[in-house]
Amino acid sequence: MTTTTKPRLLSLDFFRGLTVAAMIMVNNPGSWSYVYPPLEHSKWNGCTPTDLIFPFFLFIVGVSVPYAMGTKKEDPAQHRSLISHALRRAVTLILIGLALRLIFKFDFANLRFPGVLQRIGLVFGIIAVLYIKCSLRTLKWVFAAALIGYYLLMTAVPVPGVGPANLEPETNLGAWLDRLVFTTHHLWASSKTWDPEGLLGTIPAVGTGIFGILVGSWLRRKDKEDAVKVSWLFVYGFFSIVLALIWDLFFPINKSLWTSSFVLYTGGWATVGLAACYWLIDVQQRTRYLTPMVAFGRNAITAYILSALVPKLMSLIPVGDLSLQAWLNEKVWNNIFTPYNASLAAALFLVFLIWIPMAVMYRRNIIIKI
């Protein structure tokens, strides 16, 4: 844990905080039977607002890399130290992701190996090393190769034991690889035959991270005026969205497969969103009412970890014959609101609970670094 006064890009903290708060909200409804459609993931192809959250977070991880490493990268003597630190952080994120699944129920025989923090850790480690060792020109080629290569793998390579390449949930190449490497005991419990954070999908997810690096590197440039930076970011963002919609015609936008069109579509919207935040917050200095989201953004991983722990703890605290979580749902939210609004109220209440320690840490200028 460190205390810091180092200046930060306020718009990036705000954008990160908004993304984390949204992630907590959509992951913790009061009842999965009553969730408004925009707060659900798409069934397979397509993209809802909820589907934007995870790629936005990976995009933000990428944007943060040039700000964290840009100056030190210029000194080759520091590369080894930078890489070592990045890989330690990547491994730590992966281990935390696994530990969160074991802390309340130690069942290693059925432990799901892939996961959100695991993917974040893998992507961060890979893109950090690429950023340290490659020029931006090379990164653009890697980005293109990742998206095109993944497209060819998923649409041209036959699936062993299945037949021709396909994009169905259980029979695509990525699902086959996950079953081969992890076996069905260590995959997503809802399917046991494939995983939305599977191994092969790491390739395009790295593309999402590189997308963020390119945007972060553009924002850091000192030879361009802010108006020029923002204007071009809007152009890049909308161009990426249009290109994604064209690619969607034959390689559908799909979060579970993290298709190349999904990378371009979500990266485009993330670029537009960050550009708007940068212009309003860092350039125009419209900073009123930002504190709640900035507090989340300063300690995003801590907030995510708490979002995994707090609901579990609430389900273990007895209140009469019910758990605290069930008591709030049945005696409070369902007595005040309609079923859909009660489910949303429970999610927003959890966001508020987790915000409290984030706000305290923000006021004390404390940032927990992993």
Rounded Cα distance, 174 and 11, in Å = 36
Residue type, 325: Q
Helices (H), ranges, the chain: 10-27, 53-73, 79-102, 116-133, 136-156, 173-182, 202-220, 226-247, 260-277, 291-298, 300-316, 324-327, 334-336, 339-363
Two structure tokens written together for 332:
């409070």
pLDDT of residue 43: 92
Residue 3, pLDDT score = 40
pLDDT for 1: 41
pLDDT at position 190 is: 81
- Rounded-to-integer distance, Cα 195 and Cα 208, Å: 19
Question: Token pair for residue 261?
Answer: 């069109």
The pLDDT tens digits for 182-199 are: 988 888 888 888 899 999
Give 280's DSSP letter: I
DSSP 159: B
Residues contacting residue 33 through CB under 8 Å, at least 6 positions apart:
339, 343
Choose among 173, 193, 187, 165: nearest CA to 258: 173
Q: Enter the tokens of residue 259.
A: 């298709």
Delimit the domains of the chain by residue range. Answer: 2-367
pLDDT of residue 71: 86
| Residue 341, pLDDT score | 96
- pLDDT lower than 70: segments of the chain: 1-7
Question: Quick count: other Cβ atoms within 10 Å of Cβ 169?
Answer: 17
**Closest to 118 in 3D by CA, of 186, 214, 37:** 186
For residues 18 and 22, give the distance between their C-alpha atoms in angstroms, rounded to a whole number.
6
Structure-token pair, residue 203: 């390739």
Phi, psi (rounded to 5 degrees) for 238: -70, -35
- pLDDT of 37-50, one tens digit each? 999 999 999 999 99
